[in-house]
Amino acid sequence: MIRIELAQLNPVVGGMAANSRKIIDVIQSSGADLVVFPELVLTGYPPEDLLLRHDFQEAVQAALQKVARACTDTVAILGAPLRNRNGHLVNAAVVLENGKIKGWHEKIILPNYGVFDEKRYFVSGQTPYSFELKGVRIALAVCEDLWCEDHIDSRFRQEHAEQIQRVQADYAAIEADILVSINASPYHQRKTEIRKQVLSRCARNSGKPIVYVNMTGGQDELVFDGQSMLIDAEGEFIAKMPAFTQGTAVVCFDEATRQFNDLGTLQTNGATLVEETRHTYDALVHAVRDYVAKNGFKGVVMGLSGGIDSALTLAIAADAVGTENVLALLMPSRYTSDISNQEARHQCDQLGVDCRTLPIESPHTAFEELLKEYLDIVEGDLTCQNIQARCRGVMLMAYSNHTGRLLLTTGNKSEMAMGYATLYGDMAGGFAPLKDVSKHWIYRLSEYRNTLSEAIPPGVIERAPSAELAPDQRDSDSLPPYEILDGILESYIEQDRSAEEIIAEGYPEDVVIDVIKRVNRNEYKRRQSPPGPKISRRAFGRERRYPITSAYS
Protein backbone atom coordinates (compact mmCIF):
# COMPACT_ATOMS: atom_id res chain seq x y z
CA MET A 1 0.00 0.00 0.00
CA ILE A 2 1.21 3.49 -0.83
CA ARG A 3 0.09 6.90 0.38
CA ILE A 4 -0.53 9.37 -2.45
CA GLU A 5 -0.88 13.12 -1.89
CA LEU A 6 -2.79 15.12 -4.50
CA ALA A 7 -1.38 18.67 -4.64
CA GLN A 8 -3.90 20.96 -6.32
CA LEU A 9 -1.85 24.16 -6.67
CA ASN A 10 -2.31 27.64 -8.12
CA PRO A 11 0.98 28.62 -9.79
CA VAL A 12 1.92 31.92 -11.44
CA VAL A 13 3.02 31.78 -15.08
CA GLY A 14 6.73 32.49 -15.28
CA GLY A 15 7.13 32.56 -11.49
CA MET A 16 9.49 29.62 -11.21
CA ALA A 17 11.04 30.83 -7.95
CA ALA A 18 7.67 31.23 -6.19
CA ASN A 19 6.22 28.11 -7.82
CA SER A 20 9.18 25.94 -6.81
CA ARG A 21 9.02 27.22 -3.22
CA LYS A 22 5.35 26.29 -3.08
CA ILE A 23 6.10 22.83 -4.49
CA ILE A 24 9.00 22.27 -2.09
CA ASP A 25 6.86 23.32 0.89
CA VAL A 26 4.34 20.62 -0.01
CA ILE A 27 7.06 17.99 -0.49
CA GLN A 28 8.84 18.77 2.77
CA SER A 29 5.64 18.74 4.81
CA SER A 30 4.30 15.59 3.18
CA GLY A 31 4.24 12.25 4.91
CA ALA A 32 3.12 10.49 1.73
CA ASP A 33 5.12 8.10 -0.41
CA LEU A 34 4.17 9.99 -3.57
CA VAL A 35 3.14 13.61 -4.16
CA VAL A 36 1.44 14.44 -7.48
CA PHE A 37 1.39 18.01 -8.85
CA PRO A 38 -0.43 19.42 -11.93
CA GLU A 39 0.74 19.77 -15.53
CA LEU A 40 3.41 22.47 -16.08
CA VAL A 41 3.05 23.48 -12.43
CA LEU A 42 6.66 24.66 -12.38
CA THR A 43 6.06 27.30 -15.07
CA GLY A 44 2.33 27.84 -14.73
CA TYR A 45 -0.01 27.18 -17.64
CA PRO A 46 0.06 28.28 -20.38
CA PRO A 47 3.58 29.79 -20.56
CA GLU A 48 3.05 30.51 -24.27
CA ASP A 49 6.00 32.17 -26.06
CA LEU A 50 8.05 32.35 -22.87
CA LEU A 51 8.91 28.77 -23.86
CA LEU A 52 10.80 30.12 -26.88
CA ARG A 53 13.27 32.03 -24.69
CA HIS A 54 16.57 30.34 -23.83
CA ASP A 55 16.86 32.22 -20.53
CA PHE A 56 13.37 31.05 -19.56
CA GLN A 57 14.27 27.43 -20.32
CA GLU A 58 17.44 27.74 -18.25
CA ALA A 59 15.47 29.17 -15.32
CA VAL A 60 13.03 26.24 -15.56
CA GLN A 61 15.84 23.69 -15.41
CA ALA A 62 17.46 25.42 -12.44
CA ALA A 63 14.13 25.41 -10.59
CA LEU A 64 13.56 21.75 -11.48
CA GLN A 65 16.94 20.77 -10.04
CA LYS A 66 16.15 22.71 -6.87
CA VAL A 67 12.86 20.83 -6.44
CA ALA A 68 14.60 17.52 -7.14
CA ARG A 69 17.06 18.12 -4.29
CA ALA A 70 14.11 18.44 -1.91
CA CYS A 71 12.85 14.95 -2.82
CA THR A 72 14.75 12.90 -0.26
CA ASP A 73 12.00 11.01 1.58
CA THR A 74 9.17 11.48 -0.88
CA VAL A 75 8.82 10.79 -4.60
CA ALA A 76 7.23 13.62 -6.59
CA ILE A 77 5.56 13.80 -9.99
CA LEU A 78 5.28 17.29 -11.44
CA GLY A 79 4.74 18.97 -14.78
CA ALA A 80 7.55 20.93 -16.43
CA PRO A 81 8.86 21.67 -19.93
CA LEU A 82 11.91 19.52 -20.53
CA ARG A 83 14.50 18.90 -23.24
CA ASN A 84 14.38 15.19 -24.04
CA ARG A 85 17.32 13.04 -25.07
CA ASN A 86 16.96 14.22 -28.66
CA GLY A 87 17.07 17.87 -27.60
CA HIS A 88 13.38 18.47 -28.31
CA LEU A 89 11.16 20.41 -25.93
CA VAL A 90 8.44 18.21 -24.43
CA ASN A 91 5.56 18.74 -22.02
CA ALA A 92 6.69 16.31 -19.35
CA ALA A 93 5.47 14.59 -16.22
CA VAL A 94 8.78 14.41 -14.36
CA VAL A 95 9.49 11.85 -11.61
CA LEU A 96 11.82 13.13 -8.87
CA GLU A 97 13.39 10.74 -6.35
CA ASN A 98 16.43 10.85 -4.03
CA GLY A 99 17.47 14.29 -5.23
CA LYS A 100 17.45 13.38 -8.92
CA ILE A 101 15.26 13.13 -12.00
CA LYS A 102 14.33 9.46 -12.08
CA GLY A 103 12.57 9.65 -15.45
CA TRP A 104 9.71 11.36 -17.26
CA HIS A 105 6.69 10.86 -19.44
CA GLU A 106 6.43 12.98 -22.59
CA LYS A 107 2.90 14.17 -23.38
CA ILE A 108 1.75 12.27 -26.46
CA ILE A 109 -1.49 13.97 -27.51
CA LEU A 110 -0.75 17.68 -27.95
CA PRO A 111 -3.96 19.76 -28.14
CA ASN A 112 -4.05 22.33 -30.90
CA TYR A 113 -7.58 23.71 -30.82
CA GLY A 114 -9.64 26.21 -28.84
CA VAL A 115 -7.42 27.86 -26.23
CA PHE A 116 -4.62 25.32 -26.74
CA ASP A 117 -1.58 25.79 -28.98
CA GLU A 118 0.86 23.15 -27.72
CA LYS A 119 2.18 22.07 -31.12
CA ARG A 120 3.72 25.52 -31.43
CA TYR A 121 6.12 24.64 -28.62
CA PHE A 122 6.35 20.90 -27.98
CA VAL A 123 6.98 17.64 -29.83
CA SER A 124 4.87 14.59 -29.06
CA GLY A 125 6.06 11.72 -26.93
CA GLN A 126 5.76 8.21 -28.30
CA THR A 127 4.84 5.77 -25.52
CA PRO A 128 3.64 5.98 -21.91
CA TYR A 129 6.28 5.94 -19.18
CA SER A 130 5.93 3.90 -15.98
CA PHE A 131 7.97 3.34 -12.83
CA GLU A 132 7.73 1.30 -9.66
CA LEU A 133 7.29 2.59 -6.12
CA LYS A 134 7.09 0.20 -3.15
CA GLY A 135 5.89 -2.61 -5.37
CA VAL A 136 3.27 -0.49 -7.15
CA ARG A 137 3.75 0.05 -10.89
CA ILE A 138 2.61 3.57 -11.84
CA ALA A 139 1.94 4.67 -15.44
CA LEU A 140 1.93 8.39 -16.24
CA ALA A 141 -0.23 10.55 -18.49
CA VAL A 142 -0.43 14.27 -19.14
CA CYS A 143 -3.95 15.68 -19.57
CA GLU A 144 -4.89 15.11 -23.23
CA ASP A 145 -3.27 11.66 -23.27
CA LEU A 146 -6.41 10.30 -21.61
CA TRP A 147 -8.91 12.44 -23.55
CA CYS A 148 -9.37 9.77 -26.17
CA GLU A 149 -12.52 8.79 -27.98
CA ASP A 150 -14.75 11.25 -26.09
CA HIS A 151 -12.51 14.14 -27.02
CA ILE A 152 -14.02 17.57 -26.50
CA ASP A 153 -13.14 18.75 -30.03
CA SER A 154 -14.54 16.46 -32.74
CA ARG A 155 -12.36 17.87 -35.54
CA PHE A 156 -9.22 17.32 -33.50
CA ARG A 157 -10.37 13.76 -32.75
CA GLN A 158 -10.92 13.02 -36.42
CA GLU A 159 -7.55 14.44 -37.47
CA HIS A 160 -5.70 12.47 -34.78
CA ALA A 161 -7.81 9.30 -34.79
CA GLU A 162 -4.88 6.94 -35.51
CA GLN A 163 -2.68 8.46 -32.81
CA ILE A 164 -5.52 8.44 -30.27
CA GLN A 165 -6.31 4.79 -30.95
CA ARG A 166 -2.64 3.87 -30.55
CA VAL A 167 -2.40 5.73 -27.24
CA GLN A 168 -5.55 4.01 -25.96
CA ALA A 169 -4.07 0.65 -26.86
CA ASP A 170 -0.76 1.54 -25.19
CA TYR A 171 -2.44 2.44 -21.90
CA ALA A 172 -4.49 -0.76 -22.01
CA ALA A 173 -1.38 -2.85 -22.68
CA ILE A 174 1.11 -1.24 -20.30
CA GLU A 175 1.89 -3.22 -17.17
CA ALA A 176 0.77 -0.94 -14.36
CA ASP A 177 -1.37 -1.00 -11.23
CA ILE A 178 -2.53 2.59 -11.51
CA LEU A 179 -2.64 5.54 -13.92
CA VAL A 180 -1.56 8.97 -12.66
CA SER A 181 -2.68 11.86 -14.85
CA ILE A 182 -1.43 15.42 -14.30
CA ASN A 183 -3.52 18.23 -15.80
CA ALA A 184 -3.95 21.90 -16.56
CA SER A 185 -7.57 21.59 -17.64
CA PRO A 186 -9.43 24.94 -17.83
CA TYR A 187 -12.94 25.32 -16.55
CA HIS A 188 -16.02 25.83 -18.63
CA GLN A 189 -19.62 25.02 -17.87
CA ARG A 190 -20.28 21.27 -17.62
CA LYS A 191 -16.54 20.56 -17.80
CA THR A 192 -16.48 18.33 -14.71
CA GLU A 193 -19.20 16.09 -16.11
CA ILE A 194 -17.25 15.79 -19.37
CA ARG A 195 -14.04 14.94 -17.49
CA LYS A 196 -15.81 12.25 -15.50
CA GLN A 197 -17.18 10.64 -18.66
CA VAL A 198 -13.77 10.69 -20.32
CA LEU A 199 -11.91 9.33 -17.29
CA SER A 200 -14.54 6.69 -16.64
CA ARG A 201 -14.25 5.32 -20.15
CA CYS A 202 -10.45 5.48 -20.03
CA ALA A 203 -10.39 3.55 -16.74
CA ARG A 204 -12.66 0.86 -18.15
CA ASN A 205 -10.74 0.61 -21.43
CA SER A 206 -7.35 0.43 -19.72
CA GLY A 207 -8.52 -1.63 -16.76
CA LYS A 208 -6.66 0.70 -14.39
CA PRO A 209 -7.76 3.09 -11.63
CA ILE A 210 -6.89 6.75 -12.21
CA VAL A 211 -5.50 9.51 -10.03
CA TYR A 212 -6.37 12.78 -11.78
CA VAL A 213 -4.68 15.95 -10.45
CA ASN A 214 -5.71 19.31 -11.89
CA MET A 215 -4.48 22.88 -11.51
CA THR A 216 -6.47 25.66 -9.90
CA GLY A 217 -6.30 29.45 -10.27
CA GLY A 218 -6.88 32.20 -12.82
CA GLN A 219 -4.50 32.95 -15.69
CA ASP A 220 -5.60 35.80 -17.98
CA GLU A 221 -8.60 34.38 -19.89
CA LEU A 222 -8.39 30.90 -18.39
CA VAL A 223 -9.67 29.68 -15.04
CA PHE A 224 -8.57 26.32 -13.63
CA ASP A 225 -11.06 24.75 -11.27
CA GLY A 226 -9.04 21.94 -9.68
CA GLN A 227 -11.56 19.22 -8.76
CA SER A 228 -8.78 16.61 -8.79
CA MET A 229 -10.43 13.21 -8.59
CA LEU A 230 -10.13 9.44 -8.23
CA ILE A 231 -11.72 6.91 -10.59
CA ASP A 232 -11.62 3.16 -9.94
CA ALA A 233 -10.75 0.47 -12.50
CA GLU A 234 -14.45 -0.10 -13.28
CA GLY A 235 -14.82 3.56 -14.20
CA GLU A 236 -16.72 4.54 -11.05
CA PHE A 237 -16.16 7.95 -9.51
CA ILE A 238 -14.70 7.64 -5.98
CA ALA A 239 -14.00 11.15 -4.68
CA LYS A 240 -12.69 14.59 -5.58
CA MET A 241 -11.09 17.72 -4.18
CA PRO A 242 -13.08 20.98 -3.93
CA ALA A 243 -13.50 23.34 -6.87
CA PHE A 244 -11.47 26.57 -7.08
CA THR A 245 -9.48 25.74 -3.95
CA GLN A 246 -5.74 25.35 -3.55
CA GLY A 247 -4.69 22.55 -1.22
CA THR A 248 -3.65 18.94 -0.80
CA ALA A 249 -5.36 15.66 0.03
CA VAL A 250 -3.92 12.25 0.91
CA VAL A 251 -5.34 8.90 -0.13
CA CYS A 252 -4.09 5.32 0.24
CA PHE A 253 -3.90 2.92 -2.70
CA ASP A 254 -3.88 -0.83 -2.09
CA GLU A 255 -2.23 -2.59 -5.02
CA ALA A 256 -3.59 -5.97 -3.93
CA THR A 257 -7.23 -4.91 -4.17
CA ARG A 258 -6.54 -2.01 -6.56
CA GLN A 259 -8.76 0.13 -4.36
CA PHE A 260 -8.45 3.64 -2.89
CA ASN A 261 -8.75 3.74 0.91
CA ASP A 262 -8.62 6.33 3.70
CA LEU A 263 -9.98 9.16 1.56
CA GLY A 264 -9.46 11.77 4.27
CA THR A 265 -10.68 15.23 3.18
CA LEU A 266 -11.76 14.21 -0.31
CA GLN A 267 -15.40 14.82 -1.17
CA THR A 268 -17.48 11.73 -1.89
CA ASN A 269 -21.11 12.81 -1.42
CA GLY A 270 -22.58 14.13 -4.66
CA ALA A 271 -19.14 14.94 -6.00
CA THR A 272 -19.98 13.54 -9.43
CA LEU A 273 -22.31 16.45 -10.28
CA VAL A 274 -21.47 20.09 -10.90
CA GLU A 275 -23.77 22.75 -9.48
CA GLU A 276 -23.36 24.78 -12.64
CA THR A 277 -24.46 28.21 -11.48
CA ARG A 278 -22.37 28.14 -8.30
CA HIS A 279 -19.28 26.97 -10.14
CA THR A 280 -19.75 29.58 -12.87
CA TYR A 281 -19.97 32.34 -10.27
CA ASP A 282 -16.96 30.96 -8.39
CA ALA A 283 -14.98 30.85 -11.64
CA LEU A 284 -15.59 34.56 -12.25
CA VAL A 285 -14.62 35.48 -8.68
CA HIS A 286 -11.51 33.31 -8.89
CA ALA A 287 -10.50 34.90 -12.20
CA VAL A 288 -10.80 38.47 -10.90
CA ARG A 289 -9.02 37.68 -7.63
CA ASP A 290 -6.02 36.09 -9.34
CA TYR A 291 -5.77 38.69 -12.11
CA VAL A 292 -5.63 41.47 -9.51
CA ALA A 293 -3.23 39.67 -7.17
CA LYS A 294 -0.87 38.15 -9.73
CA ASN A 295 -0.52 41.46 -11.58
CA GLY A 296 0.07 43.52 -8.45
CA PHE A 297 -2.94 45.87 -8.54
CA LYS A 298 -3.99 47.67 -5.37
CA GLY A 299 -7.66 46.91 -5.88
CA VAL A 300 -10.31 47.57 -8.51
CA VAL A 301 -12.30 50.54 -9.78
CA MET A 302 -15.42 50.35 -11.94
CA GLY A 303 -18.36 52.36 -13.17
CA LEU A 304 -21.69 51.57 -11.55
CA SER A 305 -24.76 52.47 -13.60
CA GLY A 306 -27.66 51.02 -11.65
CA GLY A 307 -28.04 48.31 -14.31
CA ILE A 308 -27.71 44.58 -13.82
CA ASP A 309 -24.35 44.09 -15.60
CA SER A 310 -22.45 46.56 -13.45
CA ALA A 311 -24.33 45.38 -10.35
CA LEU A 312 -23.19 41.78 -10.92
CA THR A 313 -19.66 42.97 -11.67
CA LEU A 314 -19.62 44.89 -8.37
CA ALA A 315 -20.73 41.81 -6.43
CA ILE A 316 -18.07 39.67 -8.12
CA ALA A 317 -15.39 42.29 -7.42
CA ALA A 318 -16.37 42.60 -3.76
CA ASP A 319 -16.27 38.82 -3.32
CA ALA A 320 -12.95 38.59 -5.17
CA VAL A 321 -10.83 41.29 -3.54
CA GLY A 322 -12.86 42.45 -0.54
CA THR A 323 -15.21 45.42 -0.33
CA GLU A 324 -12.46 47.62 1.11
CA ASN A 325 -10.49 47.24 -2.13
CA VAL A 326 -13.34 48.20 -4.49
CA LEU A 327 -14.12 51.73 -5.65
CA ALA A 328 -17.40 52.35 -7.53
CA LEU A 329 -17.91 55.53 -9.56
CA LEU A 330 -21.41 56.77 -10.37
CA MET A 331 -21.24 58.96 -13.48
CA PRO A 332 -24.79 60.13 -14.21
CA SER A 333 -25.67 61.98 -17.39
CA ARG A 334 -28.69 64.06 -18.36
CA TYR A 335 -30.39 60.78 -19.34
CA THR A 336 -29.67 58.83 -16.15
CA SER A 337 -32.87 58.11 -14.25
CA ASP A 338 -33.24 58.78 -10.55
CA ILE A 339 -33.95 55.11 -9.95
CA SER A 340 -30.58 54.16 -11.49
CA ASN A 341 -28.73 56.47 -9.10
CA GLN A 342 -30.77 55.24 -6.14
CA GLU A 343 -30.23 51.55 -6.90
CA ALA A 344 -26.50 52.06 -7.46
CA ARG A 345 -26.04 53.89 -4.15
CA HIS A 346 -28.21 51.33 -2.38
CA GLN A 347 -26.02 48.47 -3.61
CA CYS A 348 -22.83 50.23 -2.50
CA ASP A 349 -24.30 50.86 0.95
CA GLN A 350 -25.46 47.27 1.12
CA LEU A 351 -22.02 45.86 0.28
CA GLY A 352 -20.01 48.51 2.12
CA VAL A 353 -18.24 49.66 -1.05
CA ASP A 354 -16.72 53.15 -1.39
CA CYS A 355 -19.01 55.02 -3.80
CA ARG A 356 -18.31 58.39 -5.43
CA THR A 357 -20.49 60.43 -7.78
CA LEU A 358 -18.92 62.27 -10.74
CA PRO A 359 -21.57 63.75 -13.08
CA ILE A 360 -20.48 63.85 -16.72
CA GLU A 361 -22.69 66.75 -17.82
CA SER A 362 -19.81 69.24 -17.86
CA PRO A 363 -17.39 67.27 -20.10
CA HIS A 364 -20.30 65.97 -22.19
CA THR A 365 -21.50 69.53 -22.91
CA ALA A 366 -17.95 70.73 -23.59
CA PHE A 367 -17.35 68.02 -26.16
CA GLU A 368 -20.70 68.69 -27.84
CA GLU A 369 -20.04 72.41 -28.08
CA LEU A 370 -16.56 71.84 -29.46
CA LEU A 371 -17.66 69.27 -32.04
CA LYS A 372 -20.73 71.22 -33.19
CA GLU A 373 -18.36 73.58 -34.96
CA TYR A 374 -17.22 70.70 -37.15
CA LEU A 375 -19.94 68.02 -37.03
CA ASP A 376 -23.71 68.06 -37.44
CA ILE A 377 -24.45 66.49 -34.03
CA VAL A 378 -28.08 65.79 -33.19
CA GLU A 379 -29.17 65.40 -29.57
CA GLY A 380 -29.35 61.67 -28.71
CA ASP A 381 -27.79 60.38 -31.95
CA LEU A 382 -25.08 57.69 -31.91
CA THR A 383 -22.23 60.20 -31.88
CA CYS A 384 -23.74 61.95 -28.87
CA GLN A 385 -24.29 58.63 -27.09
CA ASN A 386 -20.70 57.55 -27.63
CA ILE A 387 -19.36 60.89 -26.35
CA GLN A 388 -21.03 60.13 -23.02
CA ALA A 389 -19.53 56.67 -22.81
CA ARG A 390 -16.08 58.06 -23.66
CA CYS A 391 -16.36 60.78 -21.02
CA ARG A 392 -16.92 58.01 -18.50
CA GLY A 393 -14.01 56.00 -19.91
CA VAL A 394 -11.63 58.94 -19.46
CA MET A 395 -12.72 59.47 -15.86
CA LEU A 396 -12.49 55.79 -14.98
CA MET A 397 -9.01 55.49 -16.48
CA ALA A 398 -7.91 58.61 -14.57
CA TYR A 399 -8.94 56.95 -11.30
CA SER A 400 -7.21 53.73 -12.36
CA ASN A 401 -3.97 55.58 -13.18
CA HIS A 402 -4.05 57.67 -10.01
CA THR A 403 -4.92 54.91 -7.53
CA GLY A 404 -3.16 51.91 -9.07
CA ARG A 405 -6.45 50.03 -9.22
CA LEU A 406 -7.46 47.70 -12.03
CA LEU A 407 -10.37 49.07 -14.08
CA LEU A 408 -13.06 46.44 -14.59
CA THR A 409 -15.34 46.73 -17.59
CA THR A 410 -18.91 45.56 -17.20
CA GLY A 411 -20.10 44.48 -20.67
CA ASN A 412 -21.49 40.98 -21.28
CA LYS A 413 -21.01 38.45 -24.09
CA SER A 414 -24.35 39.19 -25.76
CA GLU A 415 -23.49 42.89 -26.08
CA MET A 416 -19.91 42.24 -27.19
CA ALA A 417 -21.16 39.83 -29.85
CA MET A 418 -23.42 42.50 -31.32
CA GLY A 419 -21.02 45.42 -30.95
CA TYR A 420 -23.43 47.02 -28.47
CA ALA A 421 -20.56 48.76 -26.70
CA THR A 422 -18.42 51.87 -27.21
CA LEU A 423 -14.76 51.64 -28.10
CA TYR A 424 -12.67 53.77 -25.70
CA GLY A 425 -15.82 54.22 -23.62
CA ASP A 426 -17.50 51.41 -21.67
CA MET A 427 -15.02 49.00 -23.30
CA ALA A 428 -12.07 50.82 -21.72
CA GLY A 429 -10.42 48.87 -18.94
CA GLY A 430 -8.01 46.16 -17.94
CA PHE A 431 -10.22 43.13 -17.27
CA ALA A 432 -13.75 42.15 -18.29
CA PRO A 433 -15.30 39.71 -15.79
CA LEU A 434 -18.51 39.24 -17.83
CA LYS A 435 -16.90 39.04 -21.26
CA ASP A 436 -17.97 35.40 -21.74
CA VAL A 437 -21.27 35.63 -19.82
CA SER A 438 -24.42 35.91 -21.95
CA LYS A 439 -27.33 38.04 -20.79
CA HIS A 440 -29.55 35.20 -19.61
CA TRP A 441 -26.66 33.98 -17.47
CA ILE A 442 -26.28 37.50 -16.04
CA TYR A 443 -29.74 37.15 -14.53
CA ARG A 444 -29.15 33.60 -13.34
CA LEU A 445 -25.88 34.54 -11.63
CA SER A 446 -27.40 37.64 -10.04
CA GLU A 447 -30.25 35.63 -8.58
CA TYR A 448 -27.79 32.98 -7.36
CA ARG A 449 -25.58 35.59 -5.67
CA ASN A 450 -28.58 36.90 -3.76
CA THR A 451 -29.14 33.43 -2.28
CA LEU A 452 -25.83 33.82 -0.45
CA SER A 453 -26.61 37.30 0.87
CA GLU A 454 -28.46 40.27 -0.58
CA ALA A 455 -25.87 41.84 -2.89
CA ILE A 456 -27.88 42.99 -5.92
CA PRO A 457 -31.03 45.06 -5.36
CA PRO A 458 -34.13 43.23 -6.65
CA GLY A 459 -35.16 46.38 -8.51
CA VAL A 460 -31.99 46.15 -10.61
CA ILE A 461 -32.81 42.59 -11.62
CA GLU A 462 -36.41 43.43 -12.47
CA ARG A 463 -35.79 46.58 -14.55
CA ALA A 464 -35.73 46.53 -18.35
CA PRO A 465 -32.09 46.79 -19.57
CA SER A 466 -31.03 50.24 -20.84
CA ALA A 467 -27.78 51.98 -21.67
CA GLU A 468 -29.40 55.31 -20.72
CA LEU A 469 -27.49 57.23 -23.39
CA ALA A 470 -30.61 58.69 -25.03
CA PRO A 471 -34.14 59.63 -23.91
CA ASP A 472 -36.29 56.62 -22.89
CA GLN A 473 -33.72 54.23 -24.32
CA ARG A 474 -34.09 50.44 -23.98
CA ASP A 475 -31.77 47.65 -25.15
CA SER A 476 -34.76 46.23 -27.04
CA ASP A 477 -34.66 49.31 -29.28
CA SER A 478 -31.41 48.09 -30.82
CA LEU A 479 -31.28 44.37 -30.05
CA PRO A 480 -33.65 41.42 -30.40
CA PRO A 481 -35.14 40.15 -27.12
CA TYR A 482 -32.29 38.52 -25.17
CA GLU A 483 -34.07 35.17 -24.92
CA ILE A 484 -33.99 35.01 -28.74
CA LEU A 485 -30.62 36.71 -29.20
CA ASP A 486 -28.74 34.43 -26.80
CA GLY A 487 -30.05 31.29 -28.49
CA ILE A 488 -28.91 32.51 -31.91
CA LEU A 489 -25.53 33.60 -30.56
CA GLU A 490 -24.91 30.26 -28.84
CA SER A 491 -25.68 28.37 -32.05
CA TYR A 492 -23.51 30.65 -34.21
CA ILE A 493 -20.56 31.31 -31.90
CA GLU A 494 -20.26 28.22 -29.72
CA GLN A 495 -21.56 25.58 -32.12
CA ASP A 496 -20.44 27.05 -35.49
CA ARG A 497 -23.88 26.53 -37.04
CA SER A 498 -24.77 28.23 -40.30
CA ALA A 499 -27.60 30.69 -40.80
CA GLU A 500 -29.66 27.97 -42.51
CA GLU A 501 -29.21 25.59 -39.57
CA ILE A 502 -30.14 28.26 -37.03
CA ILE A 503 -33.24 29.27 -39.00
CA ALA A 504 -34.21 25.59 -39.11
CA GLU A 505 -34.20 25.61 -35.30
CA GLY A 506 -37.18 27.97 -35.46
CA TYR A 507 -35.58 31.41 -35.18
CA PRO A 508 -36.93 34.21 -37.46
CA GLU A 509 -34.90 34.41 -40.68
CA ASP A 510 -34.55 38.19 -40.71
CA VAL A 511 -33.36 38.23 -37.09
CA VAL A 512 -30.82 35.45 -37.68
CA ILE A 513 -29.35 37.17 -40.73
CA ASP A 514 -29.11 40.51 -38.92
CA VAL A 515 -27.48 38.98 -35.82
CA ILE A 516 -24.87 37.10 -37.85
CA LYS A 517 -24.03 40.21 -39.86
CA ARG A 518 -23.56 42.25 -36.70
CA VAL A 519 -21.41 39.59 -35.04
CA ASN A 520 -19.13 39.50 -38.07
CA ARG A 521 -19.05 43.26 -38.51
CA ASN A 522 -17.96 43.92 -34.92
CA GLU A 523 -14.93 41.65 -34.77
CA TYR A 524 -12.73 44.77 -34.88
CA LYS A 525 -14.25 45.99 -31.62
CA ARG A 526 -13.77 42.69 -29.81
CA ARG A 527 -10.14 42.56 -30.94
CA GLN A 528 -9.58 45.75 -28.89
CA SER A 529 -11.44 44.63 -25.79
CA PRO A 530 -9.73 43.67 -22.52
CA PRO A 531 -9.26 40.00 -21.55
CA GLY A 532 -11.93 38.24 -19.54
CA PRO A 533 -12.43 34.74 -18.11
CA LYS A 534 -13.68 31.91 -20.30
CA ILE A 535 -16.68 30.09 -18.82
CA SER A 536 -18.54 28.89 -21.94
CA ARG A 537 -17.68 26.18 -24.45
CA ARG A 538 -16.31 28.85 -26.81
CA ALA A 539 -15.23 32.33 -25.82
CA PHE A 540 -14.24 35.43 -27.76
CA GLY A 541 -10.54 36.21 -27.69
CA ARG A 542 -7.84 33.57 -27.83
CA GLU A 543 -10.36 30.80 -28.52
CA ARG A 544 -12.53 32.21 -31.33
CA ARG A 545 -10.17 33.79 -33.86
CA TYR A 546 -11.94 35.32 -36.84
CA PRO A 547 -10.39 37.75 -39.34
CA ILE A 548 -11.40 41.39 -39.03
CA THR A 549 -11.25 41.92 -42.78
CA SER A 550 -13.23 39.18 -44.50
CA ALA A 551 -15.48 38.90 -47.55
CA TYR A 552 -17.04 35.64 -46.36
CA SER A 553 -20.66 35.79 -45.30
Catalytic residues: 39, 107, 143
Strands, E assignment, 184-325: 210-214, 216-219, 222-225, 229-231, 237-240, 247-254, 259-261, 300-303
* Antiparallel, parallel or unpaired: β 247-254 and 237-240: unpaired
What are the contacts of 462-468 at 24+ separation with CB within 8 A? 463/307, 463/308, 463/339, 463/343, 465/307, 465/308, 465/439, 466/307, 467/385, 467/420, 468/305, 468/307, 468/333, 468/335, 468/336, 468/337, 468/340
Mind spelling out the 3-state secondary structure of 2-67?
Answer: EEEEEEECCCCCCCHHHHHHHHHHHHHHCCCCEEECCCCCCCCCCCHHHHHCHHHHHHHHHHHHHH
Cα separation of 34 and 77, whole Å? 8
Distance CA 290, CA 74 (A): 30
Q: Which helix (H) or strand (E) holds 373?
A: none
430's CB contacts (< 8 A; 6+ apart) are 297, 400, 406, 407, 408, 530
Q: Single out the residue of 25, 13, 21 nearest to residue 248, CA to CA.
A: 25
Q: Is 375 helix (H, G, I), strand (E, B) or coil?
A: coil
Q: Are 276 and 192 in contact (CB under 8 A)?
A: no
Distance CA 39, CA 50 (A): 16
Contact 59, 80 (CB under 8 A): no
Specify whether the CB–CB gap between 106 and 91 falls below 8 A. yes
Distance, CA of 142 to chain centre: 20
Residue 95, strand partner residues? 77, 103
Helix (H, G, I), strand (E, B) or coil at 274: coil
CA proximity to 89, closest of 34, 47, 128: 47
Distance CA(227)–CA(216), nearest Å, equals 8
β partners of residue 327: 301, 354
Query: Do strands 34-36 and 2-8 pair parallel, antiparallel, or not at all (unpaired)?
Result: parallel
Please report how many Cα atoms fall inside a 13 Å half-sphere around the Cα of residue 55, on the Cβ side: 1
Nearest Cα to 494, choosing from 153, 151, 161? 153
The C-alpha atoms of residue 241 and residue 190 are separated, in whole angstroms, by 17
